[in-house]
Structure 1
Amino acid sequence: MNKTKIIKILAIAFIVFVAIVYIKFFTSNTKIAKDEFVEIPTGSSYQDVERILSPIVKNMNDFEFIAKMRKYPENVKAGRFLLKKGMSAFQLVGAMRRNVPVKLAFNNQERLENLVERLSSQIEPDTTKLLATFKEDAFLKQNGFTAQTVFAMFLPNTYEVYWNISAEKFRDKMLEEYQRFWTKERLARAEALNMTPVQVTTLAAIVHKESVKKSERPTIAGVYLNRLNQGMPLQADPTVIYALKLRDNDFNQVIKRVLYNDLFINSPYNTYKVIGLPPGPIAMPDVDAIDAVLNSEKHEYLYFCASVEKFGYHVFAATYEQHQVNAKKYADWLNTQGTNR
């Protein structure tokens, strides 16, 4: 074989090799029509990864070839990874090394059990693990919480965390956020009210439930603080509703009206029967409600009820006689609406 023919054969072989490498490295190796996130659980093996990626990867042999070349099977990472439409095998392996954070959001939860359900749909730890971690005796004792008050630690917001964050690390992050929220200024305001941060949050949860109108929340907070200072029961309907839901173990039910007989339910959350604050928050108050308590309005009001003239707002009274007049107007209006519950 002459030299020229050898050169031609080598050239063809090189071209074929380059073509094979190009196909394996740089051509699309996905079956997806749009970008997708995949989640690799903690402790997954390379075989687990291949199983998870099988609906996405077009040619698993090419993926495996690149993965082994880049030593990925020995360095599988747990987490949430973004795979884009049209990615090559080389790009896919690279993407599986980049854990993409989750923007985790929660608000308007009524109890810890509801919160962990929301969280488990966004991060890896399940509801059982999260609930057990949040209620761990040593953690509660060390940080001054109880199983009923630890809910006050969670502030509604959007947080950036990794999908595979452990329950313990997530709990510790929430504690850090809680401690950061309670600045020296807020702590001083709570102390001026003779309240702890947990007590402020517990009252704020009631204020939060009573009104969505930010402008009147400081007034409502002032009413409840006046009652506490005078040793009067709070008589907050939202606490009765919470007690009813807790009794029925049904927090999905909608209770629009508190009936007279409801006021006698035996529950530490029934502030018609129990003087003082309930054992813990009846909801997750937003920051505005917490600050409404800390910056409550100073007045002489002891009563309030829903307004029938300015819907969504309340009317306030300093005397029980005036409150009776306001309450009758509201009850009469409710009766015209046919609202029995």
Structure 2
Amino acid sequence: MKTWKLIVLVAALLVIVILGAVGGRWYADNRKPNFSGKADLYVHPQMAVDEVLAQIPDSIVINHRSLTRVVRKGLSDVDLKPGHYVVERNKPSVYVVRMLRNGWQTPVNLVLSGTMRIKGLIARKIANQMMLDSADVASALNDSSLLSGYGFTPSDVFSLIIPDTYQVYWTASMKDILDKQKAAYDAFWTADNVAKAEAQGLTPKQVSIVASIVKSESNHAPEYSSIAGVYLNRLHQGMRLQADPTVAFCYGYTLNRILLKHLEYDSPYNTYLHEGLPPGPICVPDRSSLEAVLNPDRHGYLYFCASAAMDGTHKFAATYSEHLRNAREFQRALDARRTSGR
């Protein structure tokens, strides 16, 4: 009788130990926080589980055995869904498996800012932040059929892009990104802004064209409204814009300096040869340049040139003779700087 009781007792203890071990392991895998920090995971198509897990720094994994055990049991290469995922601090091991199996992506910030004037470079900027290939991005920016669905063409697609930071999924398609741009474009072009454009005798797309020239003329945003005023004055008086940046655009921005011979380049974008506005923007205008065209300075200036102060600002003139004086003043300052070796 005593032997039987002893056997039962030992068996009961073994069951308790086993259940405790199983329960402890289950708790460690499913409930207990196993990460002391965050980690970004980027899952590309055809990527293996080991390649994904290698992106989790060892320093933030509290229990490596738990993570390895859960992954081996619940995740295989075919289960992985491409995307950007974030391993959150204080999450259990099983969360990683569920996240990757179910495609619980975390959006990324797509930053569209800075100088954007060549489609190939814009494509690279976007592709560097997304799962997209730069060639596919460039193709989309030149796809007449795709762009027509948004009311744009390859010539005026720069108008559609509104520089900002956008939250998108890393796996987003170019159509997804263009959808975001169209929403931002529509949000910018409120009834009030459309009315301001009409007051200047311009359509929203034409505002973008002028704004692209304004942005290309100066890195000094406080001058944008004054520069916009000059070009609007010239437009309203039937003068050619004669904007150097449009010539630079014709040459694919490869010129270090624009010479007189370059002004003869035969292109509808060359505002020295053709009256009115070019067919489309010569770069992606930012919000400040768009606002400058919608709210230009009211003045009588028709000309401007770089200031002799060499500080990135410009001097404005109402007459050509005054403009020539300003230009000579700048040239003297430039010659003096070259002579001094500065």
- Give the TM-score normalised by structure 1: 0.83
What's the offset of the Cα at 1:314?
1.5
Q: Which residue of 2 aligns with 1:149?
A: 156
Partner SS state of residue 200, structure 1: helix
What CA distance in whole angstroms lies between the structure 1 residues aligned with 2:247 and 2:255?
13
Higher mean C-alpha deviation, range 292-301 or range 48-57:
48-57
Instruction: Pick one of 171, 174, 177 that aligns with 2:181.
Output: 174
What's the offset of the Cα at 1:77?
3.6
Q: Which residue of 2 aligns with 1:52?
A: 51
Which residues of 2 match residues 288-303 of structure 1 at below 5 A?
288-303=288-303
What CA distance in whole angstroms lies between the structure 2 residues aligned with 1:154 and 1:307?
31
Q: Identity percentage over the alignment?
A: 32
What's the offset of the Cα at 1:254?
7.4
Which residues of 2 match residues 179-218 of structure 1 at below 5 A?
179-218=186-225
CA contact (8 A) 1:222 1:297 kept: yes
Q: Which residue of 2 aligns with 1:14?
A: 19
Partner SS state of residue 240, structure 1: helix
CA contact (8 A) 2:308 2:334 kept: no
In structure 2, runs of 5+ residues without a counterpart are 57-63
Q: Which residue of 1 aligns with 2:41?
A: 38
Partner SS state of residue 158, structure 1: strand
- More RCO (CA 8 Å, sep 6+): 1
Instruction: Pick one of 55, 63, 75 that aligns with 2:70.
Output: 63
Is 1:92–2:96 an aligned residue pair?
A: yes
Higher mean C-alpha deviation, range 131-140 or range 85-94:
85-94
What CA distance in whole angstroms lies between the structure 2 residues aligned with 1:128 and 1:306?
38
CA contact (8 A) 1:134 1:171 kept: no
Partner SS state of residue 300, structure 2: coil
Alignment-mate amino acid for residue 296 of structure 1: P
CA contact (8 A) 1:208 1:285 kept: yes
Q: Which residue of 1 aligns with 2:112?
A: 106
CA contact (8 A) 1:66 1:90 kept: no
What CA distance in whole angstroms lies between the structure 1 residues aligned with 2:157 and 2:139?
12
**1:46-67 deviation digits (Å, cap 9, x = unpaired):** xx45143242465675133552
In structure 1, runs of 5+ residues without a counterpart are none
Higher mean C-alpha deviation, range 180-189 or range 190-199:
190-199
- Give the TM-score normalised by structure 2: 0.83
Alignment-mate amino acid for residue 3 of structure 1: V
Alignment-mate amino acid for residue 306 of structure 1: A
The number of residues matched between the two structures is 323
Is 1:80–2:84 an aligned residue pair?
A: yes
What CA distance in whole angstroms lies between the structure 2 residues aligned with 1:276 and 1:73?
58
What's the offset of the Cα at 1:24?
4.3
Query: RMSD of aligned C-alpha atoms?
Result: 2.9
Which residues of 2 match residues 219-298 of structure 1 at below 5 A?
219-244=226-251, 246=252, 251=253, 255=256, 257-298=257-298
